[in-house]
Amino acid sequence: MLESILRDQCGLDPARPVLVGVSGGPDSLCLLGILQEAGYAVIVAHFNHQLRPEADLEAAAVSARADHLALPFVSDSADVRRYAEEQSISVEEAARTLRYRFLFASARKHAAQAVAVGHTADDQVETVLMHFLRGAGLPGLKGMEYRTLLPVFDPQIAIVRPLLSLWRAETESYCRTHNLEPHFDASNTDQVYFRNRLRHALIPELEKYNPRFKESVLRSAQALQSDYAALLEILEEAWKNTLVETGAGWLAFDQPALAKLSAGLRRNLIRRAAESLRPESRDFGFDVLERAAVFIESPAGRQIDFINGLYLFSEKGKIYLAAYEAVLPFSQWPQVGEQSATSFQLSANREQTLELGNGWVLGVTEQPLEDDTWRLNDDNWSAWLDADRLPSGGLVIRPRRPGDVFYPLGMPGQTIKVQDFYMNVKIPRRARLHWPLVCAGEQVVWVVGYRIANPLRITEKTKRILHMEIKRLPVT
pLDDT at 283 over 70: no
Q: Is 44 helix (H, G, I), strand (E, B) or coil?
A: strand
User: Using one digit for the tens of pLDDT, what is the confidence trace for 325-344?
Assistant: 888 877 778 888 765 556 66
**pLDDT at residue number 298:** 79
pLDDT at 184 over 90: no
Residue with the larger pLDDT of the pair 352 and 283 = 352
User: Using one digit for the tens of pLDDT, what is the confidence trace for 411-463?
Assistant: 877 899 999 999 888 888 888 888 999 998 889 999 998 999 999 998 888 88
- Sketch out the chain's domains with CATH numbers: 2-209 (3.40.50.620), 223-323 (1.20.59.20), 338-472 (no CATH)
pLDDT at 373 over 80: no
**pLDDT at residue number 341:** 58
Q: Residue 133: phi, psi to the nearest 5?
A: -70, -30
d(CA 418, CA 462): 27
User: Using one digit for the tens of pLDDT, what is the confidence trace for 110-152?
Assistant: 999 999 999 999 999 999 999 898 877 788 899 999 999 998 8
d(CA 161, CA 2): 11
pLDDT at 48 over 70: yes
d(CA 48, CA 75): 8
The CA R_g of the chain, rounded to the nearest whole Å, is 33
**pLDDT at residue number 475:** 60
Residue with the larger pLDDT of the pair 102 and 442 = 102
d(CA 25, CA 49): 14
On the CB side of 176, how many CA atoms lie within 13 Å of its CA?
6
d(CA 356, CA 397): 9
Query: Sheet harboring 303-305: ordered strands across?
Result: 243-247, 250-254, 318-323, 310-315, 303-305
Percent of all residues in the chain with a pLDDT value above 70, rounded to a whole number: 94
- Nearest-CA neighbor of 309 among 242, 244, 250? 250
Residue with the larger pLDDT of the pair 80 and 352 = 80
pLDDT at 93 over 70: yes
Say which range, 240-244, 374-378, 452-456, has the weakest mean pLDDT.
374-378
Work out the pLDDT band at 476, boundaries 50, 70, 90. Answer: low
| Cα torsion angle, 315, 317, 319, 322, sign | negative
**pLDDT at residue number 273:** 94
Mean pLDDT of 36-54: 94
DSSP state of 388: G
**pLDDT at residue number 330:** 76
Q: Contact, 437 vs 468, CB < 8 A?
A: no
User: Using one digit for the tens of pLDDT, what is the confidence trace for 244-256?
Assistant: 999 999 999 999 9
**DSSP secondary structure, 92-146, as one string:** HHHHHHHHHHHHHHHHHHTT-SEEE----HHHHHHHHHHHHHH---HHHHT---S
Note the pTM of the prediction, 2 decimals.
0.71
| Mean pLDDT of all residues belonging to the chain | 89
For the CA atoms of 238, 240, 243, 249, the dihedral, rounded to the nearest 10 degrees, stands at: 110
pLDDT at 313 over 80: yes
Q: Contact, 406 vs 440, CB < 8 A?
A: no
pLDDT at 18 over 90: yes
User: Using one digit for the tens of pLDDT, what is the confidence trace for 384-416?
Assistant: 899 888 887 778 889 999 999 999 998 877 899
On the CB side of 228, how many CA atoms lie within 13 Å of its CA?
16
